């Protein structure tokens, strides 16, 4: 029974991370270098984005530290009717 509890409340089942170079905002030539991290669990999906420090980056725009984190809970998903 303990295995079931651990499987539900464990922080993540799978994790993937990669460096990216992306547009800073729409219709702009400014770019940022960042890491994107995705964690998938049984109860949620978590997406994090953080910029690479300026001395490691070749980005056009200088951002001190951009941090973004969003968690999407699977319990909030509602089955649609068609």
Residue 41's pLDDT band, with cuts at 50, 70 and 90, is confident
- Round to whole Å and give the CA distance between 64 and 75: 35
CA 15 – CA 65 distance, rounded (Å): 22
Report the run of H or E that residue 6 belongs to, with start and end. helix 2-9
Taking the C-alpha atoms of residue 41 and residue 7, their distance in angstroms, rounded to an integer, is 9
- Record the pTM: 0.64
> What would the pLDDT profile of 20-35 be if each residue is shown by its tens digit?
988 878 888 888 889 9
d(CA 40, CA 78): 19
pLDDT of amino acid 58:
54
The predicted structure's pLDDT at residue 29? 85
């Amino acid at each position: 029974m303990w295995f079931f509890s651990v499987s539900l409340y464990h922080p993540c089942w799978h994790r993937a991370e990669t460096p990216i170079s992306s547009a800073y905002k729409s219709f702009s030539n400014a770019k940022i270098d960042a890491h994107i991290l995705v964690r998938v669990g049984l109860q949620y999906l978590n997406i994090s984005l953080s910029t690479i420090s300026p001395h490691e980056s070749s980005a056009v725009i200088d951002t001190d530290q951009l941090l973004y984190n969003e968690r999407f809970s699977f319990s909030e998903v509602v089955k649609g009717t068609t």
